[in-house]
Amino acid sequence: MTLHDLVQWPVLPDRAVQVALRLGYRLMRHWWRRFPPHHHRGAGILVRDGERVLIVRHSYRPGYGLPGGRVQPGEAPREAAMRELVEECAIAAPAEALRYLGEVNRTHIYEYRPPHRPRIRIDNREVIEALFLSPAEAIGRNRYLRPFMELVG
């Protein structure tokens, strides 16, 4: 048995990035507690497949959430939602296909209903799982998704 047989080479770099993201996220949470960001805004996107919604699990925090993230300075929330969807799930949504649903916890939420179930590709670094669930199942995975799922209506 060689070293090559023992080590899964593609997984090792992914795991290293996951650990770095987890540590960075913990440091940022401590920073945010001490110095709350006053202008921090987020953008999230509810990708719909019929009655199901796409949720993702990030490597650096527990539980499931929506694809999305921070709105960068000078970036519109719609652009941020589109960028995050591509970064996290490799889904390109045209701007005109996004419907604004509202704001929850300083996060602008958009809905995207693609014509067919999109092919999802995750990087196994930032995002380690992505699945379509009913809104009730999504809330069962993370109760903090309830206000987002209520926007689905």
Q: Which pTM value belongs to this model?
A: 0.76
Domain count within the chain: 1
Domain CATH number, residue 81: 3.90.79.10
Q: 110: part of which helix (H) or strand (E)? A: strand 107-112
Q: 37 falls in which pLDDT band (50, 70, 90)?
A: low
Tell whether the model's pLDDT for residue 39 goes beyond 70.
no
What pLDDT does 68 receive?
93
Quick one: pLDDT at residue 113?
96
Least confident piece of the model among 16-25, 69-78, 104-113: 16-25
Q: Which of 38-47, 57-66, 136-145 has the highest mean pLDDT?
A: 136-145
pLDDT band at 28 (very low <50, low <70, confident <90, very high): confident
What secondary structure letter does DSSP report for 124?
S
The pLDDT-based confidence of 38 (bands split at 50, 70, 90) is low
Q: What range defines the domain where residue 82 resides?
A: 3-150
Is residue 113 within 8 Å of residue 91, measured between CB atoms?
Answer: no
Burial (CB count <10 Å: 0-12, 13-18, 19+), residue 53: buried
Question: Does residue 16 register a pLDDT over 50?
Answer: yes
**pLDDT, position 81:** 96
